[in-house]
Structure 1
Amino acid sequence: MNIASQVTETKGENTYSFDEFLAKRDRLDWYKNEPFLQKAVKKFTGSQYEQIHEKILSFSPIVSAKWNQLAERIARPEVRPYMLHFDAFNHRIDRIVRPMEVHQLEGEVFGEGLFSSKMAPWESFVKRMLTHQIGEGGVTCPLTCTHGLIALLDQFPNDEIPELYDILQHTKEGIDGEFAIGAQFMSEIQGGSDLPANLLEAVPYEKAFRLYGNKFFCSAAHADYSVVTAKISGTNKVSTFIVPAWLPGDKEKEKRNGYQINRIKWKLGTAELPTAEIQYNGALAYPIGPKDKGIAVAVGIVLTLSRLEIGIACSGFMLRAAREARLYSDFRTVFGKKVSEYPLAASKLKRIQNAAERTTAGAFKIYDLFLRLEKPLNPGIKSEQPLEVRKQLFNLRELVLLQKICATNEGAEILREAISMFAGHGVMEEFSSLPRIFRDVVVNEQWEGPRNLLLTQIYRDLQRVADWYSPVEFVSSVLGGSPQEQIKQFSEQLEDLLQRPVLGEVNEASIEAAAEWDAFCDSFFKTYQQIAVAEINQ
C-alpha cells in the first residue's frame, strides 16, 4: 500500500472515546462511593449500624447496576405502556401493556419486602433512597403508594371484613413470595387536590360498597389494590375505601372489578408509570377508617407518607446528579483543561454537592423524628396527646410539607445544573439518565399537593396553633442547634408574616406578602437542612 492510500484511509478519522468515563460510571457503587450517605447512615442507625451497613453493601451493587440498566431500557419511548381494551373475542379486559423489563424490575424491587415486619425501618429507608436513584422506572411511585396502603390497613384493622387482612398480608408480607402492588386514586376532574369536591359515589352493599363515577388522574393504574376516596350516598362527607383490581379468580380472566380504564395519560415525566382515567361502574370497595373522616384518613396517612417519600426520592436524585456531574467534569477536557478545573464549573459542582448533602441530611433527620414519634400519622392539629408530644407531631407535619415543596423545587434546579455540566451531551437521553430524572422531579413537584397549596396549608396550620404553640416556640424547636441570632431573626419574620395578608384578597400588599412567605419557607427549611448536615459531620 502506498503512502497516498494510507493518508486517504485515515483522513478525518476521530479516535475520541467516552469509554474511560463510561467504565468509571458503570463501576460506581451508589452506596460504597457515597461517603456522606454512609456517614448519615452511621449517625442515625445507632446500634443497628453494622448490621444495616452490611445489608446495604450487599444491596447497593444490584440497584447501581442491574436495576439501573433495566430502568434505562424501560424508559425508551417505544416501550412505554399502552392500553389493550379488548381481547380477540371482544371481551373488555383493559390490559395495560408494559415491557418485560418493568415486570422483572417490579418483581425484584417489591420482592425485597421493603415494608415487611421482617425488615428494620432504617434498612428500608436507605434501600428506598438508593432505589429512587434509578428514577421512576415504573416502580417507585407504586412502591410509595403501597407503603401508604399498608399503613392505612395497619392503622385501621377491621375483623368484620376479613378481605382487608388478606390485602394487608398480600402487600406487606407477600403471599407465596408474591408481593401485591398498591395505588391511590383520589383526584377527580373538578377537584385535583380538592378532595371535598369529590363526586365519586359509594353505594352501600352488604358489608362493603359499590363505587360509581370517575377518577381522572390515577397513577399506578396497573396496581392490585387501590385507596379510593368517595362520598357515601346521601352524605356530603368523603370516605376512604380499598378497591381490589380483580375479585378472587378474575385476574387470570382479565375481568376487572366493576371498572374500566378509559385511557393512559401522556405526561411530562414518570412516563414509564401508567397514569389513567378510570370509570367505576359498581366496583366492590371495602371501607377503611372512620366513614366521616375520609379526608383526614387519606391526607393524614396516605398523602403524608407519599410526601415524605418524595423528599427521600429527591435526595436520591440529587446524590446521583452530583456523583455523575463530578465524574464527567473530571473526565472531559475542553480547551486544554478538565471541565472541573474551571472556576465557574467548580462553583456549580460545589453547589450541586452541597444541595445533595443538605437534602439527604434533612431527609434523614425528618425520618428520624418520624420513627421516634409513636404512630405519628394522622394525628391532626387537635391531637389528644400531651402538649409536648403534640408540638413534636406538629413539627413533623410541617417539616414533611416543607421538605416536599423545597426539595422538589431545588431538585429541579440541581438536576438542570448537573445536566449543564455535560453540555450538549447532557440532553441526549441515551448518554445520561439525568434528563429523565429531571422530568421525574418536575412531576413530583406537582402531585400530592403543588407548591402553592402546601404553602397555604403551612400558613393556616401555624395560625391555627398559635394559641398553644407560638411562632417563637416553633422556630426554636425546629431550628434547635442554630445560633440564637438566627432563631430570633426567623421568629420575628414569622410573627410578622402571620399578621400580613398572605391569604387575603389579591392586591399589591398581599402579592408582596405571599412572595415573602414563599421565600421565608425556602430559607427556613434550608436552615433546618444545614443543621442536619452539621450534626452528621460532627
Structure 2
Amino acid sequence: MNYVDLDPALQPLIESYLEPADRDRLAPVLTALGADAAERLAPLADVADKNPPTLAQFDREGDRVDAIDYHASYQELQKAAYEEYGLSALSHRGLHGWDDLPPHLVKYILSYVFVQAEFGLACPVSMTDAAARTLRKFGEGQQITEAIDRLISTDPDHRFTGAMFMTEIHAGTDIAQTSTVAERDGENWKLSGRKWFASNPDADIILTLARFPGGDDTTRGVGLFMLPKRRPDGSKNSYVIDRLKDKLGTRSMPSGEVTLDGAYAVQVGKLERGFRQMAEMVNTSRLSNAMRATALMRRSINEALAHARTRVVFGKPLIEAPLMRMTLLPLQAEAEAALGLVFYCGDMLQRGDAGDESAAAQIRVLTPLAKHYICKRARFVTGEAMEIRGGRGYIEEWPDARLVRDSHLGSIWEGSSNVIALDVLRCMRKQDTHRLLAKTMEEKLTPITLAEAGPEVRELLTRWTAIVDRGDVILGAEPDVAEALIGGYADDLAQLIMATLLLEQADAEVTRDTNFRKLLVAKAFIGGNISADETAVVDTLAHFEDIVDGASVTREALSSLPAPVA
C-alpha cells in the first residue's frame, strides 16, 4: 500500500504547480515516503499513541534533569521526519537532489503524506521549521546563526528541534497580558515566568515572549527572545518542566507546563516588535495546521473506503449502497478542495517570499482562512469516516479514533477559530483583502470556456460579486456587528476560493489530459457547499468509482449528467 497511490488529487496538482525539474526530483522521494508512511510509519504511530512520553524531573542522585523519555516507536518516527526526509529543513537547504532550496510546496507535499501516518510529531517538525524561518528573518548574531544551522540540520548528532512558548494562564489569545518578564543580563537577558501550554517542551531552541523594562502594557511591550535548552557553557538553562499535559490527542508528542527562573535568553529583532515577529512563526505554523488537517481527512477517507469495499451488508459490499456513496462523495470533495487550497497557499507563500506584493497580501489572509475552514471540516470528515466503520471505528485498535482525537487540535492550536476569524477581519480592514481575493479568483474563472463547467462558472462569478458586497457591509458595520458576522463570512469566503480552485484545476486537467474527473469533484463540492443543491451531488454518483479511484473520465462518459443550463 502507498498513500500517494491512494490519493487521486495529489499527482495532478503536483503537475499543475511544480516545474518539470522539481517534479522529477520529488518523484522518487514521494514514492518512497508514500509506501513508508503506509507500511512502517503508520504502525509506529499507532504504538507511539498508546505509549506517550513520560517526564523524569530528577535523576537518581536527586539533581533536577527534566528529561522526557520517548518510546522507541516515537524515536523512529523522529528519525524519519528530521533525518531521512528532512521535513523541517526542506525550506532552508538543498535536499533530495535539490542543490538550492526546493519550492515551499515540496515541504508541504511530503509533510502531507507523512502526517497521514503520524500527526503528533508534525507539530515539533513544523515549529522547528518555523523557528528557523523566524530567526533567519529577524535575528542576528553568532548564537542565532549557530541555532539556525542546527535547526535545519538532518545530522542526528548535530540537529536541533524548535518550539514556541506563548500560552500563559491569562495570556493565550490576549498576548498583552503576558506576565513573563525579561531583565537585562549583560548583552543578553534573563527571563522569569510561567508558560502554561508548551508543546515539545524539551526542545533545543525555544522562541518565547516576555515583557521588557520600559515597555508599555500593549503587545508592543512584549519582546521576542530565543531561549536555548543549554547555556553557551553547556550547562542546563534555568527553567523546569513542571508536568506534562494529559491531552485528548497528539498523545505521542509531549506538551507541558514550564517555569522560567532567570533563564538565559537572547533577544530576537526589535523589542517593541516582538509580537509581530512571533506572528511570523505562528502564521507559518497555522498554514501547517491546515495542511495537517487535510492529511487527516485523506487518511480517514482511505480508511472509510477500505472498510466500505470489504464490508458486506445484506449480501452486497457496503460501497455499492447509494446512501453510502452519497455519504462518501462529499467527504472526498472536501478533502480534494482542502488539498487544492493548501497547494495554492504554498504557491502564494513562495511568490510572496520572492517579492510578489499581491501574493504576500493574499497569503496573509489565506493562511487564517485555510486554518479556520479546513481544521473545522477535518473534525467533521474524520467523524463521518469513523461512523462509516461503525463500532470498529470507535475502538482504539483501529486508527479512526486517533484521527478524530487529533483532528480537534487544528482548530485550537495557534489560535482558536474565533481568534483566526478576527485575524481575517484585520486583514480585510488593513488591505481590503476580500476584494483582492475576489479579483484574483474572478481572473481564474473568466478564461474557463469549458462548456460542461458553464453553470458552475456563472454561479461562482455571481457569488464572488455578492461576497464582496457582504464584506463591504461588514467593514462598514459597528465593530461588535462586524466581529459577530466574520466567522460565517470567513467560512463562505474559504469555500468560494476552494470551489474556484477546483474549477481551475478541472480546466487544467481537461486541457492537459482530456480528463473530466476533477470537474465531477468540483460539481459535487459546489452542489454540496455553495449552491446547496443535493441533486447536483446525486448526479455525479454515477461516476463514484472513477472519482474515488482517480480514473480518467472522458467527455462522452459525462452523458449521464444533465445538460448544462443555458
- State the TM-score bracket (shorter-chain normalisation): 0.7 to 0.9
8 A Cα contact 1:395 1:478, kept in partner: no
Residues in 1 aligned to 2:64 and 2:354: alpha-carbon distance in whole angstroms: 43
Partner of 2:451: none
8 A Cα contact 1:169 1:175, kept in partner: no
Which secondary structure state, in structure 1, belongs to the residue aligned with residue 160 of structure 2? coil
With the length of structure 2 as denominator, give the TM-score of the two structures.
0.81
Q: Quickly say closer, same or farther: Cα 1:485–1:127, change in 2 above 3 A.
A: same
Q: Tell me, yes or no, if structure 1 residue 129 matches structure 2 residue 112.
A: yes
For structure 2, list consecutive stretches of 5 or more residues without a partner in the other structure.
Answer: 96-101, 446-457, 509-566
Partner of 1:118: 94
Residues in 2 aligned to 1:366 and 1:50: alpha-carbon distance in whole angstroms: 22
Match of 1:81 among 48, 53, 58: 53
Match of 1:196 among 176, 182, 202: 176
When the two structures are aligned, how many residues end up with a matched partner?
477
8 A Cα contact 1:193 1:448, kept in partner: no
Residues in 1 aligned to 2:158 and 2:80: alpha-carbon distance in whole angstroms: 10
CA RMSD of aligned residues (A): 1.9
Kindly state the Cα deviation for residue 53 of structure 1 after the two structures are TM-superposed. Answer: 1.8
Match of 2:309 among 315, 322, 330: 330
8 A Cα contact 2:362 2:436, kept in partner: no
Q: Tell me, yes or no, if structure 1 residue 534 matches structure 2 residue 500.
A: no
Q: Which moved more, 1:94-103 or 1:407-416?
A: 94-103
Kindly state the Cα deviation for residue 517 of structure 1 after the two structures are TM-superposed. Answer: 3.2
Alignment of 1:26-45 (within 5 A): 28-45=1-18
8 A Cα contact 2:352 2:363, kept in partner: no
Partner of 2:377: 410
Partner of 2:486: 517
Q: Tell me, yes or no, if structure 1 residue 312 matches structure 2 residue 291.
A: yes
Alignment of 1:13-412 (within 5 A): 28-47=1-20, 48-76=22-50, 79-111=51-83, 112-114=85-87, 115=89, 116-119=92-95, 120-121=102-103, 122-137=105-120, 139-158=121-140, 161-175=141-155, 178-236=158-216, 237-247=221-231, 250=234, 256-299=236-279, 301-374=280-353, 389-412=356-379
8 A Cα contact 1:202 1:210, kept in partner: yes
Q: Tell me, yes or no, if structure 1 residue 442 matches structure 2 residue 398.
A: no
The Cα offsets for residues 118-144 of structure 1, whole Å up to 9 and x where unpaired, read as: 13233322111111112324x111001
Structure 1 letter corresponding to 2:331: I
Residues in 2 aligned to 1:221 and 1:514: alpha-carbon distance in whole angstroms: 34
Partner of 2:524: none
The Cα offsets for residues 340-360 of structure 1, whole Å up to 9 and x where unpaired, read as: 122221111101111110001
The Cα offsets for residues 6-35 of structure 1, whole Å up to 9 and x where unpaired, read as: xxxxxxxxxxxxxxxxxxxxxx20112322
Kindly state the Cα deviation for residue 472 of structure 1 after the two structures are TM-superposed. Answer: 3.9
Q: Tell me, yes or no, if structure 1 residue 426 matches structure 2 residue 408.
A: no
Structure 2 letter corresponding to 1:372: R
Which secondary structure state, in structure 2, belongs to the residue aligned with residue 261 of structure 1? strand
Partner of 2:439: 476
Kindly state the Cα deviation for residue 283 of structure 1 after the two structures are TM-superposed. Answer: 1.2
Residues in 2 aligned to 1:128 and 1:486: alpha-carbon distance in whole angstroms: 33
Match of 2:473 among 496, 512, 522: 496
Residues in 2 aligned to 1:59 and 1:72: alpha-carbon distance in whole angstroms: 18
Residues in 2 aligned to 1:261 and 1:477: alpha-carbon distance in whole angstroms: 48
Partner of 1:452: 418
Residues in 1 aligned to 2:484 and 2:225: alpha-carbon distance in whole angstroms: 38
Residues in 1 aligned to 2:442 and 2:282: alpha-carbon distance in whole angstroms: 25
Partner of 1:13: none
Q: Quickly say closer, same or farther: Cα 1:375–1:243, change in 2 above 3 A.
A: farther
The Cα offsets for residues 461-487 of structure 1, whole Å up to 9 and x where unpaired, read as: 312335xx6x54442224542443222
Structure 2 letter corresponding to 1:346: R
The Cα offsets for residues 189-211 of structure 1, whole Å up to 9 and x where unpaired, read as: 11112222111111111221111
Residues in 1 aligned to 2:443 and 2:323: alpha-carbon distance in whole angstroms: 35
Residues in 1 aligned to 2:411 and 2:354: alpha-carbon distance in whole angstroms: 26
